[in-house]
Amino acid sequence: MKISTRPVQRAGAEMGRPLSRLLRRLDRKATLSADDREALSALPMTVRYLSPEQSFARAGDAADCCGLVLDGYLYRQKGTGAGRRQIVGIQTADDLVGLQTLLMPRFDHDIVAIGPAVVGVIPHTAFKATLRQSQALTECFWRETSVDAAISREWILNLGQRSALARVAHLICELVARLRAVDLAQDMKLSIPWTQADVADATGISTVHANRVIQELRRVKAIAWREGMVDVLDWALLERIGDFSPDYLNLPDAEGDRILWRGSPYPRD
Amino acid sequence: MKISTRPVQRAGAEMGRPLSRLLRRLDRKATLSADDREALSALPMTVRYLSPEQSFARAGDAADCCGLVLDGYLYRQKGTGAGRRQIVGIQTADDLVGLQTLLMPRFDHDIVAIGPAVVGVIPHTAFKATLRQSQALTECFWRETSVDAAISREWILNLGQRSALARVAHLICELVARLRAVDLAQDMKLSIPWTQADVADATGISTVHANRVIQELRRVKAIAWREGMVDVLDWALLERIGDFSPDYLNLPDAEGDRILWRGSPYPRD
DNA sequence: CGTTCTATTGACTCGATTCAAACTAAGTGG
DNA sequence: CCACTTAGTTTGAATCGAGTCAATAGAACG
């Protein structure tokens, strides 16, 4: 495994004021006062470089800080007693990790770097103090928790009801949609240092089958896949295969949350 | 389908002051001031009786209220484009539903009564006004969202990595553990008007297989199952089959959140 | 240049699905 | 009070999607 701490997506300049990007993102779903913005920007944050496979936190750990992904990717994983691994979520740049530990004493899952990653570490003490000063900021972060929960529910649907092919397609769609929302992957290419084993563990299939599914997605020209680089060739097709609709991501969209929502497929009583 | 609005678990007296039970539950994880308690108790709430299969909310609905389950069960479901249903969570007495809509404009999933159910409806306006007055209350409900997310993650693990037998056992364990935490099911019997099709859709298996799995759980004498009544005969066995550990539920336990946590099964780097 | 990951392929197996039918229990209406 | 209906459970048989095992091929690392 290549050990490198070089940021993978962002150039040095963009890394400069890490909280400003978070601020910009939060600001799209809420109106923050000048005080709020200042308080947020003033949060103390130490930068931590993670090498591939290194963990930010482990299940059971007592928690005293949260993280802000500055560059790279982290996955969140849980294991069964029998030692099988399930990836329960993937965090990309500008995502918060371990936010739930503000409310719960311990991590309920591992948080691990996929490739080299950079995380801003924010101590609970300072974070809580800032939140106590602002109801609006509290709501912002509570909303982050809510969106996180909505994404988890979609993963449950994905694992429970979709074919292996659809699951993998859906996962790729989600990542691309989320990255585009933070102005990465505008070219529909996503650079993520995962292996097919990671894809398998995120979609609940075996690595062998993940390989076959990826080959199928390539065959139909929905994606190109070179190690660490997924290139969406046909977004409409991939969306269709993955049964993907971005509603659940609660992204701030130009239309301002209109009735684009995919309703329930079931008759109302 | 039998249409009845009779409460199923609780006698009339217990139904009397519905918010007091919620208060008691929240109070076990946080210290609420007298003002907080009063404000919470003063929340306006209208009672809504749902008949079986009736929905409290549908995916895509604009939301202006939250619900508090007073009696019975609701499930939360999402559907794929192909019309397959996945139950993404089950809410029992004293659970809040649609709490996420305080932060997000629309429901991302359906919320449907399993049998006859009683729900207290709390308008967003009043709810938000109360929360604005109290940081402690805000944290309490934020914590509810966090725990909800933690449960979803365990469901992802359950669906992704466990056998059909384990999934069903795990689901039953979770329900019993949650009910016991609110002083229902103390006798390890859970009275829930679901069908085997519901179990199937909650665990991502077919109804036929759900039936076979349930028969197996009966055969090994882990449970007894008559329609609408699950009776845990051997808790230790059921826990073992379901690979269940209650950590993720973040229940207030007598030991006060000690290091009972099941750590990560993976080596730390 | 060997070691170690990762990707790929083939053969075999198995858990789970699907389809179909039978059975049970509980209404419903004549 | 009994035939009829309906929802839910149970059973069997055939099938299939996906897992497992095993071996090979590449690519990157040191």
Which pLDDT belongs to residue A4?
Answer: 41
Q: For tokens 């993520």, what's the residue?
A: A192
In chain A, the residue whose alpha carbon lies closest to the alpha carbon of B264 is: A59
Half-sphere exposure of residue B89, counting CA atoms within 13 Å on the CB side?
Answer: 28
Closest chain B CA to residue A156: B156
Q: Which of A7-11, A76-80, A94-98, A181-185 has the lowest mean pLDDT?
A: A7-11
Which pLDDT value is given to residue B121?
97
Name the residue with higher pLDDT: B213 or B13.
B213
Assess whether pLDDT exceeds 80 at residue A1: no
Look up the protein residue whose alpha carbon has the minimum distance to the C1' of C25. Answer: B227
pLDDT digits (tens, 9 = 90+) for B25-65: 998 888 899 999 999 999 999 999 999 999 999 999 999 99
- Give the pLDDT score at A260: 60
How far is the C-alpha of A77 from the C-alpha of A58, rounded, in Å?
A: 9
A40-54 average pLDDT score: 95
Instruction: Indicate whether B267 pLDDT > 70.
Output: no
Give the mean pLDDT of A117-124.
96
Q: Give the whole-angstrom CA distance, residue A81 versus residue B263.
A: 10
Q: Pick from A106, A156, A243: which is nearest to B152 by CB?
A: A156
Instruction: Provide the 8-state DSSP code for A4.
Output: -
Q: Which of A108, A174, A247, A250 to mutate to test the interface with B (most CBs of B within 10 A)?
A: A108
- Name the percent of chain B lying above pLDDT 90: 81
> Which of B256, B261, B260, B251 is CA-nearest to residue B92?
B251
The pLDDT value given to residue A27:
87
Residue B125: what pLDDT?
97
List residues bridging with A223 in a β-sheet: A232
Task: Give all strands (DSSP E) within chain B, no chain letters.
Answer: 46-50, 55-57, 65-71, 74-79, 85-91, 96-97, 110-113, 117-123, 189-191, 223-226, 229-232
Of chain A, the end-to-end C-alpha distance in Å amounts to 54
**Most confident of the ranges A5-19, A20-34, B186-200:** B186-200
Q: Is B69:B97 a contact under the CB 8 Å cutoff?
A: yes
Per the structure block, which two tokens stand in for B37? 């308690």
Quickly give B211 CA vs C23 C1' distance in Å: 15
Return the pLDDT at A2. Answer: 38
The C-alpha atoms of residue B51 and residue B1 are separated, in whole angstroms, by 10
For A79 and C6, how far is CA from C1' in angstroms? Answer: 22
Please provide the average confidence, as pLDDT, over all residues in chain B. Answer: 91
B143-166: burial string, b at 16+ Cβ within 10 Å, e else: bbbbbbbbbbbbbbbbbbbbebbb
Backbone angles phi, psi at B257, to 5 degrees: 55, 50
Residue partners of B236: CB distance under 8 A and separation at least 6: none
Lowest-confidence range among A161-165, A196-200, A265-269?
A265-269
Q: Which residue of B has its CA nearest to A241?
A: B81
Gap from A242 CA to D20 C1', Å? 26
> What string of DSSP letters covers A238-265?
HHHHHT--GGGG----TT-S-TT----S
Contact assessment for residue B245 and residue A58, using Cβ atoms and an 8 Å cutoff:
no
Measured CA to CA, the distance from residue B262 to residue B235 in angstroms comes to 18
B53: nt with nearest C1' to CA = D7
Which residues, by CB, come closer than 7 Å to strand D? Answer: A 2-3, 163-165, 204-206, 208-209; B 1, 195-197, 207-208, 211-212, 214-215, 227
Q: In the numeric block, which tokens belong to residue A115?
A: 């490739």
Task: Measure B164 CA to C23 C1' (Å).
Answer: 25
Average pLDDT for B107-119: 96
pLDDT of residue A95: 97
Check if residue A173 sits with its Cβ under 7 angstroms from strand C.
no
Residues B219-248, buried b or exposed e (16+ Cβ, 10 A)?
A: eeebbebeeeebebeeeebbbebbbbbbbb
Share the mean pLDDT of chain A.
91
Do A160 and B204 form a contact (C-beta atoms < 8 A)? yes
Query: How many percent of chain A have pLDDT more than 90?
Result: 81
pLDDT at residue B4, rounded to an integer: 42
Residue with tokens 């217990």: B14
Chain centroid offset of residue A24 CA: 17
Flag the least confident range among A199-213, B117-131, B140-154, B247-261: B247-261
Q: Do A78 and B243 touch (CB under 8 A)?
A: no
> What mean pLDDT comes out for the span B125-150?
97
Higher pLDDT, A228 or A171: A171
Q: Are strands A96-97 and A46-50 parallel, antiparallel or unpaired?
A: unpaired
The confidence score (pLDDT) of residue A259 equals 53
pLDDT digits (tens, 9 = 90+) for B189-232: 999 999 999 999 999 999 999 999 999 999 999 999 998 899 99
Other CB atoms within a 10 A radius of the CB of residue A185 amount to 21
For residue A92, pLDDT over 60 is answered with yes
